[in-house]
């Protein structure tokens, strides 16, 4: 990995230093090009041609586009990027009526080894830099503008575990807030449950949303599905969420990928409802059927079972929403991002 400064590595103030000697109004034009228009230096025709060429060299992009896939309904776009060093990561843009959500990667691969997740199956390559994270949002914003959508939400639910790269992820959050003008309430960080990261988030100044990928509400099953649970078991996770809620008072969500016969039984709903109640502000559960990945042969629950499970949770006093899967046919849905990496085959269904 090189130490070259890429175009989204720098804050607005640092931009003036990098472009030392450039008049302030020109620096502002560069900033507008990067953050308001999200375009390339070659597009900035308000700047002299020679300066545009120089900027391209001074501030190179961090991401090289490899492919862009679009879902059948045209509403989900998956970008595959190559990083300096050859690693590959993916970003997903989900278009809604007049807005858009960007699902951003925080690492190339992931070391957490959740067997049902394509990124976990691929293993860990490296942390992404701040510039690589921020550029994913800029490039997706540009694509959204092409179809008259505004990026309204960013979710750190792409490749990698954001809390394993917490300081860079946080710096990128500050940039989204400061440079793109995104409200912290429209930014969600999803974690598998790294407690130091959750604790660090409680001390951070912006009130972003916290999502915890729970998937099992007893340690035996969670140890199997989410191996990091052996280090940070459910009781400690509940305590960390409660410490977080003491500071933030913003509801935490629990993500629950429903796996046929594994975590979709009546007793799983009862255990989950009980964990939700242990939080000082009851958690909200997001249910999605498990998406297929090459290395995990067990099926997702049927939609009928997902709705029954939701109803059961509601009857037990827990709030739950069934989330729609988008972009499954282009492998852009939750847990399907592998950026073409080989995966480990052979995880089996648990009883
Ligand atoms: C890919 S992870 C990235 C963020 C973070 N590492 C985490 O686990 O929360 C985003 C979400 O996708 C979920 N996920 C992973 N594999 C999945 C699959 N095959 N089907 C459905 N959801 C999956 C994760 O559990 C998590 O809730
Ligand atoms: S679910 Fe999240 S933590 Fe687990 S392997 Fe996938 S990306 Fe990593």
User: Can you give the residue range of the structural domain that contains 36?
Assistant: 12-58
Residue 322 confidence (pLDDT): 97
Q: Beta strands of the chain (E only): which ranges? A: 63-70, 76-83, 88-95, 99-103, 107-109, 124-127, 150-156, 187-191, 209-213, 253-258, 284-289, 319-322
98, 207: one domain? yes
Could you tell me if residue 1 is inside a domain?
no
Residue 339 confidence (pLDDT): 82
Could you tell me if residue 4 is inside a domain?
no
CB atoms within 10 A of CB 72: 9
CA atoms within 13 Å, Cβ hemisphere of 278: 17
Residue 264 confidence (pLDDT): 98
pLDDT at 346 over 90: no
pTM of the model: 0.95
Q: How far is the CA of 132 from the centre of ligand 1 (A)?
A: 21
19, 105: one domain? no
182, 49: one domain? no
Which H or E run contains 242? Answer: helix 234-248
Q: How far is the CA of 203 from the centre of ligand 2 (A)?
A: 24
What is the sign of the dihedral through the CA atoms of 304, 310, 311 and 313?
Answer: positive
324 band by pLDDT with thresholds 50, 70 and 90: confident
140, 50: one domain? no
Nearest CA among 132, 154, 143 for reference residue 39: 143
The residues with which 212 forms a beta bridge, in sequence order, are 191, 254
Residue 344 confidence (pLDDT): 58
The mean pLDDT of 148-167, rounded to a whole number, is: 97
| Active site residues per annotation | 90, 334
pLDDT at 349 over 90: no
Q: State ipTM.
A: 0.99
39, 22: one domain? yes
Whether the CB of 117 sits within 6 Å of ligand 2? yes
263, 189: one domain? yes
* CA dist list (Å): 38 to 44, 58, 105, 106, 151: 10, 17, 19, 20, 12
Residue 2 confidence (pLDDT): 47
Round to whole Å and give the CA distance between 127 and 165. Answer: 6
Nearest-atom number in ligand 1 for the CA of 289 is 21
pLDDT at 210 over 50: yes
**pLDDT tens per residue across span 104-156:** 999 999 999 999 999 999 999 999 999 999 999 999 999 999 999 999 999 99
* 190 is known to lie in a ligand binding site: yes
Alpha-carbon Rg for the chain in angstroms: 21
The mean pLDDT of 240-261, rounded to a whole number, is: 95
Could you tell me if residue 3 is inside a domain?
no
Q: How far is the CA of 11 from the centre of ligand 2 (A)?
A: 29
158, 49: one domain? no
**pLDDT tens per residue across span 266-293:** 999 999 999 999 999 999 999 999 999 9
Q: pLDDT > 70: what percent of the chain?
A: 96
Could you tell me if residue 7 is inside a domain?
no
Whether the CB of 119 sits within 6 Å of ligand 2? yes
37, 118: one domain? no
The mean pLDDT of 219-227, rounded to a whole number, is: 98
Whether the CB of 262 sits within 6 Å of ligand 2? no
44, 86: one domain? no
35, 127: one domain? no
28, 103: one domain? no
Round to whole Å and give the CA distance between 41 and 139. Answer: 13
Residue 215 confidence (pLDDT): 98
Q: Please give the tally of structural domains in the chain.
A: 2
């Amino acid at each position: 990995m090189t130490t070259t400064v890429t175009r989204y590595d720098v804050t607005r103030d640092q931009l003036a230093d990098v472009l030392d000697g450039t008049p302030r109004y020109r620096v502002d034009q560069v900033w507008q090009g990067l953050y308001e228009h999200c375009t390339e230096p070659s597009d900035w025709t308000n700047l002299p041609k020679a300066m545009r060429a120089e900027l391209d060299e001074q501030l190179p992009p961090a991401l090289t586009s490899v492919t862009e896939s679009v879902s059948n309904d045209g509403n989900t776009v998956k970008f595959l990027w190559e990083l300096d060093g050859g690693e590959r990561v993916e970003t997903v843009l989900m278009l809604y009526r007049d807005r858009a959500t960007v699902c951003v990667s925080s690492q190339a691969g992931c070391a957490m080894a959740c067997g049902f997740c394509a990124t976990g199956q691929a293993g860990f390559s490296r942390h992404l830099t701040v510039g690589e994270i921020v550029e994913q949002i800029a490039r997706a914003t540009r694509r959204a503008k092409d179809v008259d959508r505004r990026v309204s939400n960013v979710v750190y639910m792409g490749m990698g575990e954001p809390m394993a790269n917490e300081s860079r992820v946080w710096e990128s959050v500050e940039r989204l807030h400061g440079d793109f003008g995104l409200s912290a309430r429209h930014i969600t960080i999803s974690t598998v449950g790294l407690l130091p990261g959750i604790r660090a988030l409680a001390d951070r100044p912006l009130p972003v949303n916290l999502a915890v990928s729970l998937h099992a509400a007893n340690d035996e099953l969670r140890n199997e599905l989410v191996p990091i649970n052996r280090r940070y078991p459910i009781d400690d996770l509940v305590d960390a969420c409660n410490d977080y809620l003491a500071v933030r008072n913003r509801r935490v969500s629990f993500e629950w990928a429903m796996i046929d016969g594994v975590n979709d039984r009546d007793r799983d709903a009862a255990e989950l409802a009980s964990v939700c109640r242990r939080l000082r502000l009851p958690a909200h559960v997001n249910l999605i059927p498990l998406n297929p990945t090459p290395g995990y042969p067990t099926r997702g629950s049927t939609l009928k079972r997902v709705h029954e499970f939701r109803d059961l949770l509601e009857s037990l006093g827990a709030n739950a929403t069934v989330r729609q899967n988008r972009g499954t046919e282009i492998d852009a849905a939750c847990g399907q991002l592998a950026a073409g990496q080989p995966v480990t085959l052979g995880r089996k269904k648990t009883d």
